Amino acid sequence: MASEEQTLTVTDITRQIKSSLEQRFTRVWVQGEISNFKRHTSGHLYFTLKDEGAQLSAAMWRSRAAGLLFQPADGMKVIARGGITVYPPRGSYQIDVDQLTPLGIGELQIAFERLKKKLAGEGLFDESRKRPLPKYPGVVGIITSETGAALQDVRTVLSRRFPGVELILLPVRVQGAGASDEIAQAIRDMNRYGKVDVMIVGRGGGSLEDLWAFNEEIVARAIFASEIPIVSAVGHEIDFTIADFVADLRAPTPSAAAEMVVPDRFEILEVIRNYEYTIRQAVTQRILAHRERVESLIGSYAFNRPKDMVREFVQKLDELQRSMATTVSHRMERRAQDVESLRKRLLGVSPQGVLKRGYAIVRKDGVPVTRSQQLARNDEASVEFQDGKVMTKVQ
């Protein structure tokens, strides 16, 4: 018999089971058929998911059920997303559903039309909010399956049309449970990265169920919130998804999307060659026109008159220079004559000139004597003549 220490109460074991299940199955995707569907007066939904071998209770609370775009019913095949929880009063486990997607073609189409109408009413499809694609992108982001044909198609077209562009891939699942969450998160991640000029979001063709991830509201709102222009390239030309209506541009195929986001290098080269030819012709014509105008100006009277005036002024300047030189020469000669005359006059009144005429200069102690009173008896003095000096003594 078990000891009291090993014995658990029903509450204890239920609590441990609840903790174990809820920690292990925090989010799962379960596919099954709805049965025993009930909508409670509170707005909560209660039903059972079943397949050939088992069944699972499910609950969807009013706040989440209000966002459903289709009416669940018994017999409808769906995919439910949620966490596994345990309801202790009954000791049963169930899935707490936060997202419910129909699997049948009819139900999917109804859900598609309802979501389309809802988002259109909110303005997510308005042409006024759609942005033009960059003309010459440097970096193109692509969100698709890493192993799908869509990626190879895009790579092939980009390398052929505009090989200089950089391609950044964020690989995601493009169908099945959880694909819509991955696509929406990849769009947000690409925006946070911030170095992408334009995005291509898409996959190859398939059935309505295969393409359903691109009809989910979470993907539509991620595209709407993107700050980077998005080209939707989902399926073949006849396929339309909610993502196509929200995107800035819809491409019929991934290859067409690649052609839309980058220009053709050969077309650019041809445009450049045309521009070069046009510019060269325009410049040549303008040069010829200006050359003719310059030649006309050079031969005109107005252009040559200044040269004639310059020549006349040069000639007049030469004449003025000769006249000035003659005038200066005459004036220099007159000034030389005047200087010579003054020199002779100065020589006539200079002491040497006076001495030559028979005069003498008497000096006492080196000072000229101009009066007889300056000399006394026995004074010595010097007498300067034209040809020399003599000493004398007064008697």
- All structural domains of the chain with their residue ranges: 10-103, 118-129+137-263, 351-393
Segment 303-308 shows an average pLDDT of 73
Q: Please count the residues of the chain.
A: 395
Closest CA to 61 of 45, 49, 84: 45
Q: Is there a common fold for 10-103 and 118-129+137-263?
A: no
- Considering the chain, what is the average pLDDT of its residues? 86
- Amino acid found at 373: Q
- pLDDT at residue 2 greater than cutoff 60: no
Please give the model's pTM, rounded to 2 decimal places: 0.55
C-alpha to C-alpha distance for 211 and 336, rounded to whole angstroms = 121
Question: In which band, very low, low, confident or very high, does the pLDDT at 221 lie, cut at 50, 70 and 90?
Answer: very high
Angle 208-211-212 from CA coordinates, rounded to 5° = 80
β-strand pairing of 230-234 with 198-203: parallel
Give which of 111, 55, 101, 96 is closest to 78, Cα–Cα.
Answer: 101
| pLDDT tops 60 at residue 1 | no
Helix (H, G, I), strand (E, B) or coil at 213: helix
What pairing do the DSSP bridges indicate for beta strands 77-87 and 28-39? antiparallel
Enter the tokens of residue 167: 């391609």
Rounded Cα gap, residues 189 and 376, in angstroms: 135
Percent of the chain past pLDDT 90, that is, above it, reads 37
**Which residue type does 94 have?**
Q
For residue 258, the model assigns a pLDDT of: 93
The confidence band for 379, taking pLDDT boundaries of 50, 70 and 90, is confident
Instruction: Calculate the alpha carbon distances from 300 to 293, 294, 306 in Å.
Output: 11, 10, 11
The pLDDT of residue 142: 96
pLDDT band at 306 (very low <50, low <70, confident <90, very high): confident
Percent of the chain exceeding pLDDT 70 equals 96
Residue 82, Cβ neighbours under 10 Å: how many?
Answer: 22
Q: Which CATH number applies to 10-103: 3.30.470.20, 2.40.50.140, 3.40.630.30, 1.10.10.10?
A: 2.40.50.140
Homologous superfamily (CATH) of 118-129+137-263 is Succinyl-CoA synthetase domains (3.40.50.261)
Beta-bridge mates of residue 198: 140
Q: Which of 222, 223, 231, 229 is nearest to 249 (CA)?
A: 231
